């Protein structure tokens, strides 16, 4: 839950191995590249171990979520 899969698009060849191994269906291959839905990714690492190109790694989830100060509040 603290980590999420991140795909290096330059290394991904679209073989769909990660898509088959993902237990939650968080990875889809679209236009020849794997895309991770980080909202449903549980960070189990099965995709990382299954990728023959080593294009996937786990990163901390907080690196992908927007921080509250990123969106300035509107003043009236």
Delineate the domains of the chain, giving CATH numbers in brackets.
3-70 (3.30.70.20)
pTM of the complete model = 0.77
| Three-point CA angle 47, 21, 12, nearest 5° | 45
pLDDT digits (tens, 9 = 90+) for 17-51: 999 999 999 999 999 999 999 889 999 999 999 99
Cβ–Cβ under 8 Å, residues 40 and 24: yes
């Amino acid at each position: 839950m603290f980590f999420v899969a991140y795909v290096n698009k330059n290394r991904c060849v679209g073989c769909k191995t990660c898509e088959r191994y993902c237990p939650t269906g968080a990875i889809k291959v679209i236009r020849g590249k794997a895309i991770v839905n980080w909202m449903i990714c549980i960070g189990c690492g099965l995709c990382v171990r299954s990728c023959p190109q080593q294009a996937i790694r786990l990163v901390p989830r907080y690196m992908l979520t927007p921080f509250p100060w990123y969106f300035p509040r509107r003043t009236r």
